[in-house]
Amino acid sequence: MRIHVVDPPAYTPPYDRALSAALARAGADVTLCSGPFSYGAVAAPDGYHVNECFGGMLRGRPGSKLRSASRLAAEVPEMLRYRRISRQADVVHFQWLPLPQVGASLLPTDRPLVLTAHDVIPREPRPGQIAGLRRAYARADAVVVHSEDGSERLQRELGVAADRCHVIPHGAFTHLAELEERAPLPPELAAVEGPVVLCFGLMRPYKGLDVAIEAWRGIDGAELWIVGMPRMDTAALKASAPSNVRFVERFIEDREIAAFFERADLALLPYREIDHSGVCFTALAFGTPMLLSDVGGFPEIAAAGAAELVPSGDAAALRGALQRLLADASARERLASGAASAARDLYDWDRAAALHLELYSKLIGGAAR
């Protein structure tokens, strides 16, 4: 079976490459069709092919107006070119559409098409983006989503028929824990001796960092590390943060990740909304106990014994949970054990690949094309 895993803007290289490798291990002929990743190195292909057939027309630095303009200009010619390339595949599986308001009408139509709804609803939608996603989902033969909550939202908010929604769990990023090349913590962080709570990943408004900082007031004898590349103005956050909060505002390469998660006593994801988070599946891979807000697919992680939940946006409840878990090493150990078990049993990439291949086979068998 020839599978194209397609991520034109290279939004999620760790996910794309872990899925492609697992599909290849299961015997599929896999090509990852993507663009260049702008922020750092990516994992080398492991049993699959890579075709960087997108992104050749991009100009300017990530986030700049020139980059946005060049992406808009490239959308039609690159999607049309990919339609020709897609004839080499038996199944085309898009992970992201950077401009669905344009790209939805340019998706391949002559072979089974799968879309993954990583973000069920865009959190900061641009004009026409949600309408474009509705059109894209309507054209797809199947839509993959990572949680039951996400499936319900697809049906309720975007009108996707229940029989086209397929819940396939996200895999834990265990390859990060297996990397031979590892970088140590920066010296100023390595010198920290007390407990550490880690907020990791792109800094964006929906992630509730302001709630985390408010909850941290009055917590002594520990540090809160907020680590990742800002996609928002963080000046107000830093001005309001207590002295035992540290910010590391840059992209963290794969070889650096282990040092942060292995040092953390607790990973904190106080999100206001989410379907699922790559940060969560990174914490699972390292067996890092988690404290999550009760949104999206996070309750499913807690049900697996890998995390505790707090009400989203409730700083007082979050403070209480932080104080309790920081004082209770045995509770953190139980969550760590649950995280390791969940990564091994529930969120295994080979299991996810088998479910994808089962879906692809059904689509190929039922395709009247």
Q: Is the pLDDT of residue 124 over 90?
A: no
pTM: 0.93
Determine the Cα–Cα distance for residues 6 and 96; give it in Å rounded to an integer.
7
- My answer on whether 141 and 203 are in the same domain is no
Give pLDDT tens digits for 57-114: 777 777 778 877 887 788 889 999 999 999 999 999 999 998 899 999 999 989 999 9
The pair of three-digit structure tokens given for residue 361, joined into one six-digit string = 């086979």
Average pLDDT over residues 177-183: 92
According to DSSP, residue 170 is labeled P
Residues 136 and 246 both lie in one domain:
no
Q: What is the pLDDT of residue 68?
A: 78
Asked if residue 187 and residue 332 are part of one domain, the reply reads yes
Burial class (CB in 10 A: 0-12, 13-18, 19+), 235: exposed
Once rounded to an integer, what is the mean pLDDT over residues 332-340? 98
Which residue, among 89, 159, 141, has the nearest Cα to 359 in the 3D structure? 141
* pLDDT at 369 > cutoff 50: no
Structure confidence at residue 38 (pLDDT): 79
Average pLDDT of span 289-312: 97
- Distance between CA atoms of 65 and 83, rounded to whole angstroms? 27
| C-alpha pair distances (Å), 286 with each of 132, 175, 229, 261, 342 | 37, 10, 21, 7, 11
182 and 258 part of one domain? yes
Nearest residue to 182 (alpha-carbon basis) of 109, 262, 122: 262
Cα distance between residue 193 and residue 302, in whole Å: 29
Q: Mean pLDDT over residues 116-141, rounded?
A: 90
247 lies in the same domain as 361: no
Containing structural domain, residue 224: 176-345
Distance between CA 255 and CA 59 in Å, rounded?
A: 28
Query: What pLDDT score was predicted for residue 367?
Result: 53
Residues 64 and 53 in one domain: yes
Cα(35)–Cα(301) distance, rounded to whole angstroms? 31
Q: What is the mean pLDDT of the chain?
A: 94
d(CA 147, CA 129): 22
Residues 334 and 192 placed together within one structural domain of the fold: yes
What pLDDT sits at residue 252?
95
Residues 132 and 205 in one domain: no
Residues 25 and 149 in one domain: yes
Question: What is the distance between the alpha carbons of residues 58 and 219, in angstroms, rounded to a whole number?
Answer: 46
Domain shared by 118 and 15, yes or no: yes
Dist CA 19 CA 164 (whole Å)? 20
User: Could you tell me if 5 and 95 are in contact, meaning their C-beta atoms sit under 8 angstroms apart?
Assistant: yes
Q: For 37-52, what is the mean pLDDT?
A: 90
Confidence of residue 344 (pLDDT cuts 50, 70, 90): very high
207-247 pLDDT, tens digit per residue, is 999 999 999 998 999 999 999 999 999 999 999 999 999 99
Residues 156 and 37 in one domain: yes
pLDDT at 326 over 80: yes
- Number of domains into which the chain is organized: 2
- Asked if residue 16 and residue 164 are part of one domain, the reply reads yes
pLDDT tens digits, 4-20: 999 999 999 999 999 99
Indicate which CATH number applies to the domain containing 119: 3.40.50.2000
Q: What is the dihedral of CA 284, 116, 296, 321, to 10 degrees?
A: 20
Q: Does pLDDT of 368 surpass 50?
A: no
Q: Give the residue-averaged pLDDT of 285-300.
A: 97
Q: CA separation (Å) from 329 to 128, 237, 259, 289, 323? A: 49, 29, 20, 11, 11
Mean pLDDT throughout 27-55? 92
Residue 69 confidence (pLDDT): 84
Give the three-state DSSP class for 197. strand
343 closest CA partner among 334, 333, 331, 351: 351
Backbone angles phi, psi at 39, to 5 degrees: -110, -15
Residue 160: pLDDT band (50, 70, 90) is very high
